[in-house]
Structure 1
Amino acid sequence: MSVATSWDRIVGWLAANHPATVPHINPPATAVDLRYLQAAMNRPLPTDLVEYLQIADGTNHRYVGGYLIPPFYNLLPIMDMLSARKIHQEIRHRIDGTGPWASESEPAGQRPTNWLDSFLPVAGAYDGGLLFVDLRDGDQFGCISEWDEGVMEPPPRWSGVGEMLDEVASALVDGHPAPTKYHSPDLPQVNDGYLRWGDVPA
């Protein structure tokens, strides 16, 4: 399923079931913002990530009532992506110095010893956890992994932004449980104006 189709399905479900969230979806990223992101990363960007950003530059996540990405993540706009990346780079430099980093040359999807410059956050959690796109070379270039409590949780959760949005859309619209690595498969639940992801009923 294309990124655009998955996103349309997500927004359509939100409009029908959780309309308060829709105004907090940001408009498309500008060409200037995309060029700035490309220059900041100094690496190729996955096609599905660019396609998504050309549709929506994340969400005004501090005001979203709940979590769009299971189990507790919201999509970040470009400037927040780069801000979160900078914070983790600074933490790494305080702990381990300035490099060079052998893990940067390892294939995408491999677990590093610390945060890498080739990691781009795309979604954030209330507790500081992140989902990030791995921009290292290799067969899994563009895969999405979870960064929690200072470590990468292997293996990657999705092959890329396209697969992530497809699975979220399928969970919302078709009722197919969204798999999570460290939780049972989840389905969306809107309670008291808040979108949560919960266990599939037995």
Structure 2
Amino acid sequence: MSYSEAVTSSWTRIVRWLENHAAASAQALNPPATDADIQQLNDALGFRIPQALETWLRMNNGSTAKDRRTPIPGGFQLLPDPASKLFPGGEVFLDCQSIIDRHRQFLRIADEIDDEDWWMPSWVPVLAEADSHHGLLLDTDQAARVLAYRESDYAKVYAASLEEVLEAVADALEHRRGGGVLTRGRHADVQDGRLVWG
């Protein structure tokens, strides 16, 4: 199975689960990214995004449909609706514009603090907690492995691939089990029609 097929399979399972069990979270999913969205993202980053991420964005352009954006110096801050937080760490699946905004903001901060290891140009944020420097990114210099980043530490290896992360989440949803390292030991539940991780 190719990377794109693995992403398609796992994300289809996740969306089906949301539609059947957590309608409010399913409604937080945006329509697919367009060719223009993907081109704008590639142009802003200065390189082509990994095929696995492009496949995912072409299925749903993030889980930000109910969110608001507020201007901040150097870009925008995403203010997520609780239903947008689809992932076990409370992260939102970023849309193309949010990826651009965060990538630009994080590179600016790395330059301001004169620490190129804090955020590298080849890093693409894909999942993020809105009110802190916390989430998951793809390291495009290292076969698109997944790194976890947070304010208190440098980014560290989290998973071998995006496919591995999505498969772990799909399994946790369908089998109602937690405890796996990629689901941060949490299990899925539903409150007010939205997915929550306990």
Q: State the TM-score bracket (shorter-chain normalisation).
A: 0.7 to 0.9
Match of 1:110 in 2: none
| Residues 156-180 of structure 1: per-residue CA shift (max 9 Å, x gap) | 2222222211111110012342634
What number of residue pairs does the alignment pair up?
179
Secondary structure in 2 aligned to 1:58? coil
Match of 2:140 in 1: 135
Match of 1:189 in 2: 189
Match of 1:149 in 2: 151
- Aligned pair 1:82/2:86, yes or no? no
- Aligned mates of 1:54, 1:114 — CA distance in 2: 29
Q: Is the 8 A contact 1:24 1:64 kept in 2?
A: no
Secondary structure in 1 aligned to 2:163? helix
Share of identical aligned residues, percent? Answer: 26
Instruction: Name the CA shift for 1:47/1:143 in 2 (closer, same or farther; >3 Å).
Output: same
- Aligned pair 1:95/2:96, yes or no? no
Provide TM-score, normalisation by structure 1.
0.79
Larger Rg: 1
Deviation for aligned residue 1:122: 0.6
Match of 2:34 in 1: 30
Provide TM-score, normalisation by structure 2.
0.80
Match of 2:76 in 1: none
Runs of 4+ in 1 over 6 A off after TM superposition: none
**Alignment RMSD:** 2.2
Deviation for aligned residue 1:21: 1.4
Match of 2:171 in 1: 170
Instruction: Name the CA shift for 1:197/1:66 in 2 (closer, same or farther; >3 Å).
Output: farther
- The amino acid across from 1:95 in the alignment is I
Within 5 A, what are the aligned runs for 1:94-113? Answer: 94-96=112-114, 113=117
Q: Is the 8 A contact 1:17 1:190 kept in 2?
A: yes
Instruction: Name the CA shift for 1:184/1:48 in 2 (closer, same or farther; >3 Å).
Output: closer
Q: Is the 8 A contact 1:70 1:178 kept in 2?
A: no
Match of 1:158 in 2: 159
| Residues 98-134 of structure 1: per-residue CA shift (max 9 Å, x gap) | xxx5xxxxxxxxxxx3211111111111432121111
The gaps in structure 2 that reach 5 residues or longer are 68-79
Deviation for aligned residue 1:71: 2.0
The gaps in structure 1 that reach 5 residues or longer are 102-112
